Amino acid sequence: GSTYETPEERAVNRAAIIRQSTLNMAIAALSTTAASSGLGVGTVFNLTQITGLARQFEDHVYANLGDRAVELRKIAADSKGTE
């Protein structure tokens, strides 16, 4: 049998990579903002703040992928049972 990913598996993996990357970017952006605004290192952000900013980054990435983004999002959502 083949050990290559199916197109669906590849789309899910790409969506997961994008999601993880945008979460990392959101944490970095919030940390940088906190440090530069005097809140200091170690400022704690809640999950809603992190995921909200990550979602904005993710939306930006998908908007720039065009029609392929719709397909990737649908496959990723279908694999998790959520949108």
For the segment 8-22, what is each residue's pLDDT rounded down to a tens digit?
A: 898 899 999 999 999
Q: Which pLDDT score, from 0 to 100, does residue 78 have? A: 81
Mind listing the pLDDT tens digit for each residue in 17-58?
999 999 999 999 988 887 777 766 667 788 999 999 999 999
State whether residue 14 is helix, strand or coil. Answer: helix
45-73 average pLDDT score: 83
Q: Torsion over CA of 67, 72, 74 and 77, rounded to 10 degrees? A: -150
58-69 average pLDDT score: 77
Q: Is the pTM of this model over 0.75?
A: no
Residue 69 reports pLDDT greater than 80:
no
Contacts for 68 with CB less than 8 Å, ≥ 6 apart: none
